[in-house]
Structure formats: C-alpha cells, structure tokens
Chain A
C-alpha cells in the first residue's frame, strides 16, 4: 500500500488532477482506495453494478465488450495515468464493458462519496477535474467512431462485399 504523499505525487501527473493544489490533493489521495490485480484477473464484468471509477497507477488493463461466446472485442487499453469506469459512477447504470488486467496492475478507486466531497471542498479543482474529463470523453468518442468504421471495413473486406458498384 502506497503512502498518501506518494499517491498525491502520482495524481499530480494525471490529467484529471493537474489543477489540484497540493493540500487538497494530499487529502484527496488519502481517501482513494488502492486495488491490485494479477495479470489476467477480471476487475469487473459487463452488466455488473458499479459505483466507482478507477485510475491506473501501474500496468495496463484491457477493456472489452462481449461479441459471441467467449469472444470479446477489445475496445481499448488504459495505461498508467489514464482512467476508466466513470460511466457507471455518473449514471449508476450497469458496467458497459469488462475490464481485465493485461499485466500486473495497481489501481486507485474513486467512489461517488469522494467525488461529492471534492466538489464541496474545492470547487475550482472540481471544475478542472470535470473539464479534463469532458476532453477525455471527446477523445474517446472520436476513437469509438473510428473503431466502428474499422469494424465495418473489416466486415466488408472479410466478406468481399463490393458496395461501390452495387
């Protein structure tokens, strides 16, 4: 388990928390729950309830969505400094994808209570947090569009469908 001062130093490098002042970040870091996963271990599955988002402190996780049987499509990877799981934190709907550790992983979990506390205690930092979050959402939305286009192109090429001259 890392000390809050080390966790705070790490969080300072994460885009979401770059606007935080040192004392707030230290207080915030002490409230985060650290969780470790071994390589291959599943953190949560698609459809499960969840109320936390996670920041990757060390290692890489793979995010996937069920396609058929035991086959899932890889939606992306999150490495140290990036985050995931925020959708269920905000809309309280079941998890939209499965997350598993591609390597040994250390995560920092942020729940709704801590997020609310952050908004009350340091609104300026909270605003910066949400601004960074929106920017990441936009980047992910663009990546998601590219993934859909690539999957469609895959299907057309794999079946030899010639749509241009139909």
Chain B
C-alpha cells in the first residue's frame, strides 16, 4: 500500500473518428470526478431539519432519507453543498461556490460529504452536459445525429498547455506589470473617454459610415468578427498576467470550441480564488478592459480616417470591441462572464444564475421553491433584468445589421 494521498488512476482510451482515423487519450479519474454532477433525490425522498446548539452556537442539520429511515448530521457548509447538489452543478462548480462562500477550500469536505450521502443512498450522479444529453436522446433524427458528430469533432479541437506559468511570469516581468499601475488605469480610462467622444461623433453619421463597407457588408462584418476572435486571446492573457500579479498560478492556457461550436481562447486562473476578493475582482476586470482600449483605438482611427472602407471597418471593429466589453462586464445576461463573477463575489451568491433560474421555473409552475424574501427578490430581479437585456441585445444587433445592409 502506498502512503499519503492516492494517485489518480488513468485509463487510455482510443476514440475512433468517422474517417477510420483514431485518437488515443489518457483520461485521469480526476477529470471524470470533477465533471460529475451530484443529484440529490427528488423532494419527498428526504427531509431536512435544523438543530441549533446552545453550546457552540453552531447551526447543524439533520438529513433524513425517508425511504430507508437513515439519518445524517450535516454541518452548515455541508448543508450549503447539499443545497447545490441538483444534478446541474458539477463538483468543480461546487468547489468554486464553496470557496466564494467561505473564502477557503476544505479538500476533505466534498469527498467526505459525497461518501456520506452515497452511503445513505441520498445521491446519484448525472452526466456532465445537458446539451449532449438532449442530443443523445434524439439521435434517431439524422440532423441531430449529424450535429452531435460535428460537436464531438469540434470538441476534440483543443490546443492547450499546462506549462504556461513560466511564460506568464516572463511576460509579466517584461512589462506586463505596467498594466497594474495607477498610470495604466488612468490611461485606460482616458482612452475610454476619447473613444466615447469619437464614437458619438461617428454615431451622428452612422449611415454614411456604414455605406463605407461597400457592396459586401456581410463579408466585411465576418472579417471584423474573425479579427475580434484574435483579441479574445489578448483578453485571456491579461487575465493570466493579473493572476501572476497577485502571486497566484496560471494553470492552463488554450483554444477550444466551447460546447462544440463556440470558438474561444481560455485561461485557467482558478488559483486566484486563494487570493483576496480585491485580487479576484481585478483579475476578472482586467481582461475586459482590453476590449475597452481596443474599441477606443478603433473609434479614434475611424474618426480620423476619411469616409470609406477603412473608416467603416474601424468603426465596426470598435463597435464589436465595445459590445464585448459591455457583455463581458454586464452581469445580467444569463452568461457567466467576468461581470457575473464580480457580481456574485460581491453579493456572496456564487450560484446566483442557477438558483434564480430554478426559482423562477418553480414560480412559473405555480409551486415556488422558496418563500418570498430577499433571496427570492434577487432571483426574480436577475431573471427579469437578464431576459430584458438579452432581448435588447439581439434587437440592437438586428437593427445594426439591417442598417448596414
């Protein structure tokens, strides 16, 4: 027997493609474990009661399996985790929520709780992706089957490295540290103001500017979008530099197709959860400022260029950068981007989106999952604001494209 923590087991799997080629992948058990979504039984199969101790003033809970008549004692942090074991939240998300809630990570708590719940027959596990489950259910349809295969192929297109910390440290020492100074912040805000002034000037002549895209406006917009994709890499690099600035480790950097269809660069800065709240907020905010700066520069180029293709292209690029800035920073749009993470960190509500959607769903079914109070008001407000925001965003883009055409 080996001493200490057991090493994670690995399986080597061969995955065959349609064209008879294949790929061999090593899958550690840790990857499967983190992606799993623990699911507590349906309401009615268990009961929860609170016990208050007059001795240590700690809140404790008794969880009862109504089928087997088995009882478990839960601490308050365990109750926090139990509430989130809904089959939708992965173990990785649970761990993140725990850190946000309690400001520290307990490496034994989650595996211990899961073992306890499994022994009491109060837990099952769900596969990781709801989208993939839905596709698998309907794979009898030829189009769905083709889509599933396409997504699987794209999901395999991942270029990443886990040995990026030295590179980020070199980048930081080579000048990256300058981004985290007061001067850089002032320069950034000043550029934002200059960009806004230039943008307002362009807005007045929007029709003339849009005509500069010429006979093929849609092709030009596609090029603008592709150029924008490249700047997403810069966004992630700045997140990584912020992580290094606060003395934490960048665990991974790469490119992948999110959910199999959304091309994106990503950086793993989860180590920042071990730092202060200020560090987490600065890290989240710093990447989005890339779009503010680039958008402002594009607007300045557009404002100074003569009417024509260059002006229109620069204006469109500026617009998409500032849209990205707003989307990344705007917390209420059902997407868990930088602004959302800042909001939930400030509110101390790490699973806001999930709780809000679940609560509003229960309201619509006529059986509210919780009594009306501050949390319920927050959930309803989040869903209402997000719904309106998404509708307005789509309306704005449709309006912009129809004007350009």
List the interface of chain A (C-beta within 8 A of B): 40-42, 62, 64, 67, 70-74, 100, 102, 150-151, 153-155, 157-162, 165-166
Contacts and interface: CB of A to CB of B under 8 A. Distances in A.
Interface string B2-46: 000010111111111100111010000110110010000000000
- Size bin of chain B's contact surface: 20 to 34
18 contacts: A41-B20, A62-B14, A64-B14, A70-B15, A71-B14, A71-B16, A72-B13, A73-B13, A74-B12, A74-B13, A151-B11, A153-B6, A154-B10, A155-B29, A157-B30, A160-B115, A165-B115, A166-B119
Nearest to B8: A157
A160 B111 CA distance: 7
B114 interface: yes
Contact of B33 (A100, A102, A160): A160
B125 interface: yes
Contact of B13 (A42, A71, A155, A162): A71
Contact of A150 (B9, B17, B115): B9
A100 B17 CA distance: 13
A145 B189 CA distance: 64
Could you tell me the dominant secondary structure of chain B's interface residues? mixed
A74 B14 contact: yes
B24 A102 contact: yes
B118 interface: yes
Given A150-B10, A157-B9, A71 B114 contact: no
Contacts of B12: 73-74
A165 B119 contact: yes
Contacts, number: 74
A155 B21 CA distance: 27
Contacts of A73: 11-14
B120 to A, nearest CB: 11
Contacts of A40: 20-22
Contact of B125 (A67, A70, A159, A165): A159
Contacts of B21: 40
B298 to A, nearest CB: 45
A74 B9 contact: no
A67 B32 CA distance: 16
A162 B118 CA distance: 9
Contact of A42 (B9, B20, B29): B20
Nearest to B17: A70
B13 A157 contact: no
Instruction: Name which of A40, A42, A67, A160 has the most chain B CB atoms within 10 A of its CB.
Output: A160
A50 B382 CA distance: 64
Contact of B118 (A64, A157, A161): A161
Interface in B98-152: 111, 114-115, 118-119, 125
Nearest to A98: B14
A160 B38 CA distance: 10
B114 A160 contact: yes
Instruction: Name which of B6, B8, B114, B115 has the most chain A CB atoms within 10 A of its CB.
Output: B115
Contacts of A155: 29
Nearest to A151: B11
A165 B33 CA distance: 19
A67 B16 CA distance: 12
